[in-house]
A and B are shown apart, each in its own frame.
Chain A
Amino acid sequence: MASIKEQFEVPSKMKTWSMALIVIGVISFILGLITKGMSGDEQEKATFIGTLMYNSIFWMLICNASMFFICATTLAMGGWHTVIKRIPEAISTLVPVFGIITLVIFIYVVLIDRTASIYEWLDKDAVAKDHLLSGKSGFLNPAFFMIWSILAIGIWSILGHRMRKLSSEADEKPMDINTGKSYIWRNTVTAGLFIVWFALTIGSTVPWFWMMSLDAHWYSTMYSWYTFGSSFVTGMSLIALWLIYLKNKGYLGYANENHLHNIGIFIFAFSIFWTYLWFAQYMLIWYGNIPEETVYFKHRVQGAYKGIFFMNIIINFVCPLLILMKRSVKRNYTLMTFMAVLIIFGHWIDFYQMVMGSVRENEASLSWLDFGIASLFIGLMIHFTSRALAKKPLVSEYHPFLKESIAHHI
């Protein structure tokens, strides 16, 4: 029988693995810096920076999706996730870590180097000659970009920290109905603030700044919601992987296939939701057939990114649709592991084509560098998540909805 004081200890094997991944990542970074970053070739340099950018943005957003998940379920008065809540909490500790990495990259690109091969709007001469770009300069300018990015990441981190701190209170002493209600209420307030800020950043401005402005002339109102869809479904897959890992190691005695099933429902539903947004964006631009809009898809569908473009749909739509539809699959640890890994990879590819498809239009080269940099982020993610998991009990003993979560049946 599971005991409540479940305390995770980071196995030495995990430490070794995460370190190995980080080392591989650092070596790739250095090699990339030498062979591409400092090669003098603008194109190569842009590839190097672009690779750093999409990786840092992608991994940060999917870790932030964990906090979004906690806040959304809190606001919806959800109870089922209480026994597994420490997993998304631990993952969300990565937001400031990856946030700093992302900001460092942005500081280099936007303030120090003003890399116009990444963001065309950084090139003052080009902007002056181009009335479209100069018209946008009220929004697309380095100062606004940096201030907004710092605010976005900073406030996610602060509110995330507050949510985690609140969560620790449920480890301390039993709550009666009144203290329980006020506890839930305080959670709701912070969660509400987070969701509002989330809508103002990931739901709108941040993807415009960071990624849509790579194609400075192009625009699509759907872009941010699409980015949200992509990062959220991946975030849920990451939670599923950690849940499965901990269950396999004998932790989380109260969690069972019902909880995994529920996460599976989220992954299935949001895979379809992502596809819905994908289709709506693509179809409307295709149907309207206005050159200013089709320019984004032209080289992605017909040029160098053709393979990746279709792979994106197959991995992120066809596979989840066909495989995750069945109830038994969502309750099967092996199949869910496979699907979670597949979906994380699939949406990583999605971010790859979103960023690199704009940075390097005529050539799609998924190379050792992409995987090397990804390994840096995965290593860091494993390292920090496992450390955060080990800091607190895996189950918050006095959470008012804990019993609901234990008795969760679907």
Chain B
Amino acid sequence: MSLLRYESQLREPLVDGNKTYHDVTEDICRPIEGKPGKLWYIGFYISVALLLFGIYSVYREVVYGIGQWNVNHTVGWGWDITNFVWWVGIGHAGTLISAILLLFRQTWRNGVNRAAEAMTIFAVMCAGQFPVWHMGRVWNAFFVFPYPNSRGPLWPNFASPLMWDVFAISTYFTVSLLFWYSGLIPDFGTIRDRAKTKFRKFAYGIASFGWSGSTKHWQRLESLSLVLAGLATPLVLSVHTIVSFDFATSVIPGWHTTIFPPYFVAGAIFSGFAMVQTLLLVTRKVLGLQGYITLGHIEAMNKVIVLTGSIVGCAYLTELFMAFYSQNQYESYAFFYSRANFFSPYGWAYWGMMFCNVVSPQIFWFRKMRRNLWVTMFLSIVVNIGMWFERFVIIVTSLFRDYLPSSWPYYYSPSIWEIGFYVGTFGLFFTCYFLFSKYFPVIAIAEVKQILKVSGESYKEKMDKLEEEPVEEFAHAAAH
């Protein structure tokens, strides 16, 4: 007997219930082939409404100018860039799950990767809106691309991290999209083959690129996945690293600190996983996918949340300590006056951030809490609020009191159109997600099937013989 994979019975199954290959296909294709429920329509229309409000807010900004927002001296970056960083951060979990966990061979990723990757792509789409519309004269947005142009020898500033962002995010988006789509091809093939209507057959036929399921196709898909995973792994780090450079390369107190890159990446993964939890808890319930996104999956993701939350906490305390240790009066003003001081104008944001990001996730040290759906749902939202606070704290508290005290009394709060823009990106995000959950298999059918015979509940129960086999015989069988 050759033994390619073996999993201890000690580990809980990754697919619950006595599923067969056919059940997997049926369960995951059901929402696509049936009519969506009432809740889906309500959710979808609300999302579209939010999106329309966002579009109107952006329209105001484009037609009447940046003055529609309350960003001004000294807070030149406000909600827009806060939201940009927040969305980019959220867009990190998908690629981490699909690329890094693939390289680490964590098979629990197979149940959640599809939805997480989709979420990544939508989040990056939302993030991209903010810098673009913040340009003011958005019709000149193409100036960011370096090409020989008719504007004289006028190139973008390659030494600017804002420029690096353009490349980092567009590369990230491209690779994530390719990765996601290449995984979808065999599943589209499955849906095409099951299609009962002509249109569906035609549409999924095009989407599946003529996938036949032949060995050759599988081989190519597998090697493509590995190459894309390899490419995507450094991208998980690079995107938020470069976003952190937007701040850290400057000499503004509270921004210029060397720990920013890894700390931003940890924070991004933290918020990304929180968003995945929020979405998947609803998705699994509404679509009845509890057998595939099990408590074990949720627990694993909660472990990632407590880990990354603690890393972020370690970074916050490091920063705070260095503000003291450096004995630099500007740093210490930024940290001990503007931020960590409860009575400063934005003290509430700092302590909100500390509570949401560092204190609250510690509850996940307890197994019971990690496996409690309500706690997880609540915490995932708390974490995302906390991560929004973090970006707001970094941007606004460092800017609102600069070196010129005469500009100090100004307190920045957003205008309705700034809020509208943010709300609009929620609309965009959820509109996309609703469409995704209707027309796409939200769980990777082919990948779940790969682990079914190793991690599926009914199959694991049949492993008794292997479990009880003496180690030497087992090793012999494994080697031959």
Contact = CB atoms under 8 A, between A and B. Distances in A.
B467 to A, nearest CB: 8
A274 B326 CA distance: 24
Contacts of B478: 406-407
Contacts of A371: none
B258 A184 contact: no
B164 to A, nearest CB: 11
Contacts of A2: 472, 475
B357 interface: no
Q: Which of B262, B321, B471 has the most CB of A within 10 A?
A: B471
A180 B467 CA distance: 12
Contact of A407 (B3, B324, B472): B3
Given A277-B262, A290-B251, A402 B471 contact: yes
B253 to A, nearest CB: 11
Interface in B315-348: 315, 317-319, 321-322, 324-328
B415 interface: no
A288 B256 contact: yes
Interface in B241-289: 241, 245, 248-251, 256-262
Contacts of A400: 8, 10
Given A276-B261, A284-B260, A204 B318 contact: yes
Given A139-B325, A199-B310, A409 B474 contact: no
Given A221-B318, A284-B245, 17 more contacts: A4-B471, A180-B8, A180-B10, A199-B310, A199-B311, A204-B321, A219-B325, A219-B326, A225-B262, A253-B475, A284-B256, A284-B258, A287-B249, A288-B249, A400-B8, A403-B471, A407-B474
B103 interface: yes
A283 B466 CA distance: 54
Contacts of B250: 288
B71 to A, nearest CB: 25
A177 B322 contact: no
Given A3-B472, A281-B258, A292-B328, A204 B317 contact: yes
A371 B237 CA distance: 37
B466 A403 contact: yes
A303 interface: no
A78 B397 CA distance: 42
Interface string A281-300: 10111011010100000000
Interface in B336-388: 365
Contacts of A288: 248-251, 256
Given A265-B103, A280-B258, A406 B318 contact: no
Contacts of B261: 276-277, 280, 284
The secondary-structure label for the interface of chain B is helix
A1 B476 contact: yes
A410 B325 contact: no
Contacts of A184: 10
A167 to B, nearest CB: 17
B6 interface: yes
Interface string A245-288: 00000000110000000000100000010001100110111011
B105 interface: yes
B8 A219 contact: no
B314 A203 contact: yes
Interface stretch (A33-41, A129-137, A156-164): A129-137
Contacts, number: 117
B5 A409 contact: yes
A77 interface: yes
Nearest to A196: B310
Nearest to B11: A77
A403 B325 contact: no
A142 interface: no
B309 to A, nearest CB: 12
Nearest to B250: A288
Interface string B89-128: 0000000000000010100000000000000000000000
A186 interface: no
B371 to A, nearest CB: 14
Interface string A79-96: 100000000000000000
A404 B8 contact: yes
30 contacts: A2-B472, A2-B475, A4-B472, A131-B327, A136-B327, A177-B10, A184-B10, A192-B365, A196-B310, A199-B310, A219-B322, A220-B258, A221-B319, A222-B258, A272-B234, A276-B241, A280-B261, A284-B248, A284-B256, A287-B249, A290-B251, A292-B328, A400-B10, A401-B8, A401-B10, A403-B466, A404-B7, A406-B471, A406-B478, A407-B3
Contacts of A187: none
B314 to A, nearest CB: 6
B271 to A, nearest CB: 20
Nearest to A401: B8
Residue of A131, A136, A284, A292 with most partner-chain B CB within 10 A: A284
B170 interface: no
Interface in B453-480: 466-467, 471-472, 474-476, 478
A257 to B, nearest CB: 13
Q: Which 7 A-B pairs have the closest CB atoms?
A: A221-B259, A222-B258, A280-B261, A407-B6, A135-B327, A287-B249, A407-B478
A287 B10 CA distance: 51
B256 A397 contact: no
Interface in A163-200: 177, 180-181, 184, 192, 196, 199
B129 interface: no
A227 interface: no
B9 interface: yes
A253 to B, nearest CB: 8
A278 to B, nearest CB: 11
Contacts of A277: 261-262
Interface string A379-410: 00000000000000000010011111011011
A221 B472 contact: no
Contact of A404 (B6, B260, B321): B6
Contacts of B7: 404
Contacts of B262: 222, 225, 276-277, 280
A129 B152 CA distance: 57
B404 interface: no
